[in-house]
Structure 1
Amino acid sequence: MSRHSVLKRRECKLHYCCSSCASSRQMSCKKWLLVCLLVPGTALLLYLSLTKGEAAQRYPLQKQQITDTPIEEEPGLYHVAYPREYKFIIDQPKICEEQKPFIVVMVPVPPGDTDARNSIRMTWGREKVVEDKVVVVLFIMGLNSENDEGTLQERLRNESRQYNDLLQSNFLDSYRNLTIKTMVMMEWLSTNCQQASFAMKVDADVLLNMNNLINMLVSLNPVPTNYMTGLVWYASPVIRNPFNKFFLPHDVYPKDTFPPYPLGMCYIISLDLPQKFIQESKHIRPIYIEDAYLGMCLERLGIVPTKPPNMEQFVVALTQYNRCYYSGLIAILTASTNQMSSFWADIHLTNSPC
């Protein structure tokens, strides 16, 4: 339910309660008003808690986050060990040196999700030069947890030979290991891609408009340092509900709110930050919520993420599709890679989307 819908319901219920007061003396108008104010007011508070808390941690409007039973507190469930001993088994170590990109876009994706990778290769990932700026798109993954590991690895090696865009490290690829995947990504960027001006992390189901992205980054000339931007969330509450997917106990993270951080769906960093993240991670206990963890690293570095020039170009909640509106965005979280592909194709159907 949107905030507008919540407020509209509140207005309608107040109107109804005044009508009831006039027509009936069984309950006083004050009691009606109290009920009418408390119920929608509570709904509004719950809504705000959802949007600022849970959405900030993994966009719950897209996915169900509440479970019927409390999440079991297994050892290490919320604290993610990061031993810094992982190695790349599929790599592109010379790609930045050879192509000298303006921006390298990193897409975390499970090893078995070939469809997502192909969807991006056929849409926004096919744009290699935008406004005279070279763009490199790479897919980063860990090891598959299924039994067909040997067969899948052979397919991945063939895919890598065909496209030269896969990065695979030897950690187990899972939701709980997203922070490990993020830090391994930072290791690769720090070691292999100092030639670029910017790096970007983007989820596979995000619709990306390369032209708008490059235009935004070019406007930042000269290239900034200590720069991280995206859809920035401030004072995002730490979820203490044990039935919630993003529950964190106090002994893992004692503060009530997280430091500012851009949502993990899509963020952009200057290339001086990966090494700084790696250094600070030695002093901060990692948590499994990877975007919030980067916010914790930024806080220790004394860096506040920067709002983009136009925050409205980064969108989490899906709205009714409109070609003109969508063509003006930089990144929007879609319901699926199929929907992302469909939107991209329609936007590029004509040179004049509006």
Structure 2
Amino acid sequence: MSYARKMDRVHLLPMELPSASSINASGNKGKCSFLRRLAFGFIILAALGLLYVPAYHSVQSPLLGETSTPGILGGTHVVASIAQLHGWGYNTSRDVCTYIHPENKTTILSPSDLCTPPPFLLVVVCSAVANQKARSAVRNTWANKYNLDNSYNFTVRVAFLLGQSDNETLNNSVAEESEKFNDIIQERFLDTYNNLTLKSVMLLKWVSTNCEPTKYLMKTDDDMFINIPKLLEFLNARPQSNGTLIGCLICNAKPILDPRNKWYTPKYMYAEKAYPNYLSGTAYVMSLDVASKLYQEALKTPILHLEDVYITGVCAKRAKLRPVNHPGFSYVPRKADPCLLKSVITAHKVSPTNMYTTWSKVTDSNITCSMSNHSSEEKRVTLVRGRGNIGYYIVKKKPGSMCA
């Protein structure tokens, strides 16, 4: 039989076809395989989406994150996708010694003979590097050298405390200012708002190292008017200096938890529901034994960026020190009434221009005042302190509670 005919016979042989059940099984198998691949694809897309969203938000808002942080000031707390504080993220060390270097000299500029002989009162004005006009206004008014040297029965010295700027021109200007006035303390830290606690601890370090025989230390800001004669009158009347920690007392203050707020305090920085009672950082006075105790306690206490809460609240509580209120101190602006200004110790939010005006009114000997002016001002300050939302804290007064 020829090859061609053999091939014809082959083509005519019946072919073995798959059964209907096998066709259905194969089809279902393929369908299931397709569904599995589809589901797997969705899982991959979902995983990529989960990776993308945090990555996107980390670019849009570098202050977001997620971690579990032990050793928080006030307790242990789990941080989950909450806004971090600029400069003090949850992974940033809050060990004071890391920044203060207690065993080393960190001072860049320091006044010569500021505490020789030891003054009765040393006033340190915390000032920003760029605030030259504010420092000039203070020097020419309540801290003018002639009055400090000749008008009081006690030795009073005033200096300005600054950190460093990332602008070398400003740093050079500060060096020239120091050369001219010999009243600037400059320390090695970046002078920013969230570093105010470092500035205050640096103040305690410098004073403890250089001015230990001094009797009283006042910490204040460059937008504050200080009535030195009234302050000296009060301090001189105290039966003893030791244990002094006075200012404008703030009670039952609660941390701000809104990340959009300038004074936001995340839970990983402070986990308690309320701060300890503390003194407004606008101005407070302490004896040198208290300054030493607060400094030593700060070296063992994790940093909280709100310097007044940290120094006069948290550290004071740990050192078993009690901050005390004095009605002559206030963090609210005073009325431009010379009789009121003569009767109080501090006035807040005084611009360089208004500093000269205030000084002129306070030193005007032709103005006579009555006691009624003083009592009305004390009442006004007390009412302001009782409001529900002031500055960077929320005050919740308990029925019958006293803030004194």
| TM-score relative to the length of structure 1 | 0.73
Which amino acid in the other structure matches residue 158 of structure 2?
Answer: V
- The CA distance in 2 between the partners of 1:142 and 1:203, in whole Å, is 14
Q: Does 1:91 align with 2:103?
A: no
Number of equivalenced pairs: 277
- The CA distance in 1 between the partners of 2:133 and 2:216, in whole Å, is 27
2:296 — aligned with what? 279
Counterpart contact for 2:245–2:285, Cα < 8 Å:
yes
Q: Does 1:135 align with 2:135?
A: no
- The CA distance in 2 between the partners of 1:73 and 1:188, in whole Å, is 27
Counterpart contact for 1:142–1:171, Cα < 8 Å:
yes
2:135 — aligned with what? 117
Quick one: structure 1 residues 208 and 75, their matched pair in 2 at CA, closer, same or farther if it must change by over 3 Å?
Answer: closer
CA shift at 1:261, angstroms?
1.0
Q: Find the residue that maps to 1:285 and give its secondary structure.
A: coil
Alignment of 1:251-266 (within 5 A): 251-266=268-283
Q: Which runs of 4+ in 1 moved over 4 A?
A: 70-75, 77-81
Which amino acid in the other structure matches residue 201 of structure 1?
Answer: K
1:21 — aligned with what? none
CA shift at 1:335, angstroms?
4.3
Counterpart contact for 1:123–1:341, Cα < 8 Å:
yes
Which amino acid in the other structure matches residue 365 of structure 2?
Answer: T
- The CA distance in 2 between the partners of 1:139 and 1:287, in whole Å, is 23
Q: Does 1:217 align with 2:238?
A: no
Quick one: structure 1 residues 198 and 342, their matched pair in 2 at CA, closer, same or farther if it must change by over 3 Å?
Answer: same
- The CA distance in 2 between the partners of 1:222 and 1:320, in whole Å, is 33
CA shift at 1:77, angstroms?
4.4
Q: Does 1:291 align with 2:308?
A: yes
Q: Find the residue that maps to 2:324 and give its secondary structure.
A: coil
- The CA distance in 2 between the partners of 1:242 and 1:334, in whole Å, is 25
- The CA distance in 2 between the partners of 1:303 and 1:279, in whole Å, is 13
CA shift at 1:136, angstroms?
0.4
Q: Does 1:76 align with 2:84?
A: no
Counterpart contact for 1:238–1:256, Cα < 8 Å:
yes
- The CA distance in 2 between the partners of 1:172 and 1:81, in whole Å, is 16
CA shift at 1:346, angstroms?
2.0
Match among 280, 283, 287 for residue 270 of structure 1 = 287
CA shift at 1:351, angstroms?
4.9
> Deviations along 1:281-313, whole A, 9 cap, x unmatched?
2322111100000110011111111223xx1x2
Quick one: structure 1 residues 266 and 77, their matched pair in 2 at CA, closer, same or farther if it must change by over 3 Å?
Answer: farther
Match among 282, 297, 322 for residue 337 of structure 2 = 322
Counterpart contact for 1:71–1:245, Cα < 8 Å:
no
> Deviations along 1:44-78, whole A, 9 cap, x unmatched?
xxxxxxxxxxxxxxxxxxxxxxxxxx965556248
Q: Percent identity?
A: 27
Quick one: structure 1 residues 196 and 145, their matched pair in 2 at CA, closer, same or farther if it must change by over 3 Å?
Answer: same
- The CA distance in 2 between the partners of 1:105 and 1:143, in whole Å, is 21
> Deviations along 1:193-233, whole A, 9 cap, x unmatched?
1121100011111111111000000011322x222100011
CA shift at 1:170, angstroms?
1.4
Which amino acid in the other structure matches residue 359 of structure 2?
Answer: W
Counterpart contact for 2:85–2:264, Cα < 8 Å:
no
Q: Taking CA–CA contacts closer than 8 Å with sequence separation of 6 or more, which of the two structures ends up with the larger relative contact order?
A: 1
Quick one: structure 1 residues 335 and 160, their matched pair in 2 at CA, closer, same or farther if it must change by over 3 Å?
Answer: closer
Task: Identify unmatched segments of 5+ residues in structure 2.
Answer: 1-81, 370-404
Moved more, 232-241 or 333-342: 333-342
Counterpart contact for 2:107–2:185, Cα < 8 Å:
yes
Q: Find the residue that maps to 2:108 and give its secondary structure.
A: strand
Q: Find the residue that maps to 2:206 and give its secondary structure.
A: helix
Alignment of 1:16-35 (within 5 A): none
- The CA distance in 2 between the partners of 1:73 and 1:135, in whole Å, is 38
Q: CA RMSD in A?
A: 2.0
Q: Find the residue that maps to 1:263 and give its secondary structure.
A: strand
2:28 — aligned with what? none
Which amino acid in the other structure matches residue 268 of structure 1?
Answer: V
Alignment of 1:128-277 (within 5 A): 128-129=148-149, 130-146=151-167, 149=168, 151-223=169-241, 225-277=242-294
Q: Which structure has the larger Rg over C-alpha atoms?
A: 2
CA shift at 1:110, angstroms?
1.3
Task: Identify unmatched segments of 5+ residues in structure 1.
Answer: 1-69
Counterpart contact for 1:108–1:204, Cα < 8 Å:
yes
